[in-house]
Structure 1
Amino acid sequence: MSGNIIKFSRNTERAPQSPFSTQTVAFSHYNNISAQLPIDPVTGKVVMGGITAQAKQCLNNIKAIVESINHVMDDVVKLNIFVKHIEDVEAINQVYSSYFEGPLPTRTTVAVAALPLQEALVQIDALISNGEGTTPQAPCPLIKISRNTDKAPLGLYSQTVAFSHYNNLASQLPLNSLTGTLVSGGVKEQTHQCLINIKAVLSSIDHSMEDIVKTTIFVRNIADIDVVNQVCNAFFPAYVPARTIINVAALPMDALVQIDTVVSHGDGTPPQLPEDTRFLVIEANNTPKVPAQPYSHTVAFSHYNHISGQLPLDVKTGQLVSGGVNEQARQCLNNIKTIIESVDHVMDDIVKVNIQVRNIADMEAINDVYTTFFSGDLPARTCYAVGAIPMGALVQIDAVVSNCEGTPPQA
């Protein structure tokens, strides 16, 4: 990797620690925080008291991590909330906003098949702004910009939060912005509405669909993937962002699909000067050494690379590798390693990993393989179980990678 910006990995005893992840990994102007379970850091056990108590503990753990690196909760740009029961979201909402004084972060909320601890009802990870940058960048009083438009659905979140050279959009449900209700029809119509809402949010901040770097698509039915991809093709006729498709147990309002979006923000946020940054280039890359997908393997913008969800596919056959979860996890990680090396990076440049498994008990076997792919501090990480994975796989993994050299015209 060229350049000399340094990745900064940190842990605090004020929040639960894991041998398989770092609590927070900062690189340039963002911090990536590992998913927090409702564990009391003193006892090391899941707190009792139901969903309200557990949501508070997750948020208290995030707050402890954020404050341990001299930040505050209002520096949070994005939260991802994973629940066992979608009906628990209402209780989470009642305590959630009390952790913020300014505009709320963007947010994704989904119900999953299982969380890493059986007693856990909720798990939350976070992305926070990092105005001071990482060495040798000089601290800069960058301003976080939160915006909403009435042309897309409103909720207990900001529709878009920009900081430095990225925008993170709240996940869009297939809601009509005028009525606030689900659009009629099936997954085709719902996917189209999600993308219309994303387009409306982007248009409201003078951006376009071509500025999207990564989409994460949550579907209720794994069989809907082909239809979802067909609809996406109409919105991305040329350049296709990185993509991960995840099967979830339930979505808010009983939707069939929800789409999360990461957007390039070449104009930056004040006091960055638009004339200095407007023409940063999105760099999408594919390698023939990894099975082809109907989207980009990796998309770099500014100081980050986003890697599409990797299945345990053999590049020669395009089929699942033989064996169990150990072999499949190794193949997923080998595919990520190959993609990263194809753009002149290494695995230790990864700042965040997301792992979906069919059986949460398989995480032990995955961890045995996982740590062998890193020689330095482990990335931040989020893991959970899903009902199904494309092609009947047992595991799927995506990643966010530091990009020290940036993208043109950055030096």
Structure 2
Amino acid sequence: MSALRVIGLMSGTSYDAIDAAAAELVLDGDTLVLTPLGLISTAYDDDLRAALAGALPPAATDLATVCRLDTRIGQAFAAAAVRADLELCDGRAGLIASHGQTVYHWTEAGRVHGTLQIGEPAWIAEATGRPVVSGFRTRDVAAGGQGAPLVSVVDVMWLRGRPGVPVALNLGGIGNVTVASDGAGGGPLAFDTGPGNALIDAAVQEPAAREALGGAYSMDVDGALAARGRVRPPLLRRLLDEPYYARPAPKTTGKELFHLPYLRAALGAFGPLPVEDVVATLTRLTARTVADAVRPFGATEVIASGGGTRNPVLMEWLREELGGGGGVPLRTSDELGLPSDAKEAYAFAVLGWLTAHGLPGTVPSCTGARRASVLGSVTPGGPGLRLPEPLTSAPGRLTIHANGNSRPFTAR
């Protein structure tokens, strides 16, 4: 069948930038072949990022603010899509897949009741003239699922056939894993492990910390603060008492739980601590909770992606927690041909491709849904709605084809 160029748009729980990854996707037998065409990462402007941060839980907001954010984020996503089409696809993209910006994930007693991603897709369709698939998570929630981690279907296809028990790890604001098998012939499983960078970012952005650091940090760049600090065991034990970690999978979480007031409550039992020590302790927390999450499944390798992979201290401590040189190997998705900075955006390009062909985009054992569902809604692009012919069966595997003519990966 003919190849389709798809642009995946993603802004994660760190809400620092919009990633636009372009891929050429073609079905070869039962294998979906993905050729990366490049990534453009565009930061939210300061005003929009501040407005978004001010509206997220646990802050109170109003519908006027939500409407404005929905519009402005939709326009920002549209601008990113236009650039990606022109610069990465030579103006020949056939489909846009937009994750949007998650602003709330409604969970109670381990069950997800609703989820909200904003960034109105009509702005993207109007600007690009291409059909847009969006609103991926809600259908899985309606089918009884967690609505996350949706990248699990891509991970399962991608890791199928690798020996042992490979585990895909995403280190964004929230960490999540996909266990491709349970080591005993069972089905795959996926869940959020807890905070990835969320609490580290919160600690750095806390007003007193910003003052102490001279306002120079919005994140722990290259793990510099953690490297200068020391882990405080009593604080680490207090943080590890969080009940979420003991809940069975599938499970999801977000900044509705792991936010600055949560951190302040944990710190309240201790005297003033240097920000470097707080960041070091939170970095160890992320490494510990990820390792604790994958250990029961007998993981034979962990393949990491996401912004956390750029933190060498976090990666070093995660290797330690996984057993060091004689333990579970830790590598990045770059080693398997999938750029770690762009993996989630590419995953949503694949999810858009599946939806456009009428194919399910979930693995029920990973999200906890009653059934696999075709995800999202389609917003027409130019006049009429032209989608590929539907397929009757989904691809079983995903392979990455490194095209020598691929564009470089850029961040602007």
* Same fold? TM cut 0.5: no
**Which of the pair is proportionally richer in helix?**
2
Per the normalisation by structure 2, the TM-score is 0.28
Instruction: Output the TM-score relative to the length of structure 1.
Output: 0.29
